[in-house]
Amino acid sequence: MISVEEKLLVNVLYKPESEILNGIEINDINFDNLIKLASRHLMLPALFFNINKKNISYLFPEDFIEYIKNIYSINKARNTVLLKEAKELSELLYKNNINHIFLKGTALLLSNVFEDIGERMMCDIDFIIQHKDEEKVEKILEKNNYFTNNIIDLFRVFKPKHLTTRVNKNKTIRIEPHLELLSPKYRVVFNSKKLINDFKDETKTIKTPSKPFLFDHCIYALQIEDKRFFNSYHSHRSIYDIYKLDCKNSLTVKKIKKDIFITHFFINIDKFKIFDIHIKTTLLNSYFYKFLRKILIINQILFQIISIIIELFYSNELRKRALNKISNNYNNKTLLNYLYKWLKA
C-alpha cells in the first residue's frame, strides 16, 4: 500500500507539473509525514529542487518550503566542498602515480548526472584503487594527514571491500578507498575487473566509470550489499540515481530479464510507474527468487564460518582472543572445552 505522501513524493520527483496531483487530494497530505518519508530516503534536497524547478511551491505550506530549502542549501554547500576535496585528493594521488577511479555518489556528481549538485545527499568520497597500490596509498594518506580511528584487521583471508575510512582535520568529507566493489562473499556476482581497462588508461584526469557501469553498480550495491534483494524495501535515492543516469540502453526488458538483481529492482518499484518497463511476475519466478535468497543466505553463513576458521589457523592474535573468550566464559562446557584444546594445539 503506497501512502498518499509517497505518491506525492514520486509525482514531484518523476512526473511533469501537469501530473503532480494525479490521484492525490492535497488536503489529505500530512506534511510532517512527507518530511519524515523524504528524510528517511535522503531525498529532501531533491524534493526541494523539483518543487522549485516545476514551480509548484504554491501547493505546499510556507514553513514546509522554508525547511526543505534550508536542507537543500546546506547540502549544496557541502557537495561544493566535496567536489573540491575530491579534486584535491585526485591531484594528490596522481602526483604519487596512483591510478584511481571515483565511485558511487562522488562519481555521479563528477559525471554531471544531476542538473544541480544540491540534489544528491552524500556521505563519503568513494574511489577505487588497484590492489598493488594498497600499501602505497595507506602511506600517502597517512603522510598527508588523512587519519583513521578504525582498527585494522590483524589478518585478512580475502581483500576487503575498502580500506579503513579516513578523515583529515583540515577537510570536511571522509574518504573511503576501495579495493573491490562488493564484499568478498558477493564478488562472484560483480567483480571490479570490469574496471581493468579504465585502470590501464594513464590519462591524469579525474576518472569516473561509464554510465552503464554506474547503473549496474548502483543496483548491485542496493540489492546485494544493502540486502534489498532479500526483502521488498526500496530506496528512493537509488531509484532517483537510476532515473537521472537515464541509461536507456541498459533499461531494455531483455537485459533486465537476464539479470535477477536488476529484475528484482524493477519488479519492486513497478508500483510507482516511474519507468516505462513492466515485468510480469509468475509463480515460478516467485519460487525461484525464494530459493535463490535461501542459497545466498546459506552462502553468506558458510563464507563467514570458513573465513573465521582460516583466520584462526593463521592468525596467532585472533586465536589468543578466541582462547581467552572461551576460557573466561565457557570453561565448563564440554564442546567448547574441546574447541579450546583444538585451538590451543
Model pTM? 0.80
29 to each of 17, 26, 38, 222, 248, how far by Cα in Å? 18, 5, 13, 29, 33
Are 174 and 165 within 8 A, CB to CB?
A: yes
303 to each of 227, 289, 299, 312, how far by Cα in Å? 16, 21, 6, 14
Q: Give the pLDDT score at 154.
A: 45
Strand 146-147, strand 167-168: pairing: antiparallel
Cα separation, 244 vs 21, whole angstroms: 22
How many Cβ atoms sit within 10 Å of the Cβ of residue 305?
Answer: 10
Is residue 67 packed enough to be buried (19+ CB in 10 Å), middle (13-18) or exposed (0-12)?
middle
Strands (E), the chain: 100-102, 125-129, 146-147, 167-168, 175-178
Q: Give the pLDDT score at 310.
A: 65
50 to each of 4, 54, 55, 259, how far by Cα in Å? 18, 6, 8, 32
What region, left, alpha or beta, does residue 340 occupy, with left being phi > 0 and alpha being psi -120 to 50 degrees? Answer: alpha
Domain ranges (residues) in the chain: 4-209, 210-280, 285-344
To 5 degrees, how large is the angle CA 213–CA 15–CA 261? 35
241: nearest Cα among 140, 103, 341:
103
Tens-level pLDDT at each residue, the chain (345 residues): 899 999 999 999 999 999 999 889 999 999 999 999 999 999 999 999 999 999 999 999 999 999 999 999 999 999 999 999 999 999 999 999 999 999 999 999 999 999 999 999 998 999 999 888 999 999 999 999 999 876 555 445 567 777 889 999 899 999 999 988 888 777 777 766 766 677 776 666 788 988 888 988 898 888 888 877 777 789 999 999 999 998 765 555 555 556 778 888 888 888 898 987 766 666 556 656 666 666 666 666 666 666 666 666 666 666 666 667 666 666 555 655 656 565 555
Q: Give the pLDDT score at 246.
A: 82
SS (H, E, C) 90-159: HHHHHHCCCCEEECHHHHHHHCCCCCCCCCCCCCCEEEEECHHHHHHHHHHHHHCCEECCCCCCCCCCCC
249-273 burial string, b = 16+ CB within 10 Å, else e?
Answer: ebbeeeebeebbbbbbbbbbbeebe
Cα separation, 75 vs 60, whole angstroms: 21
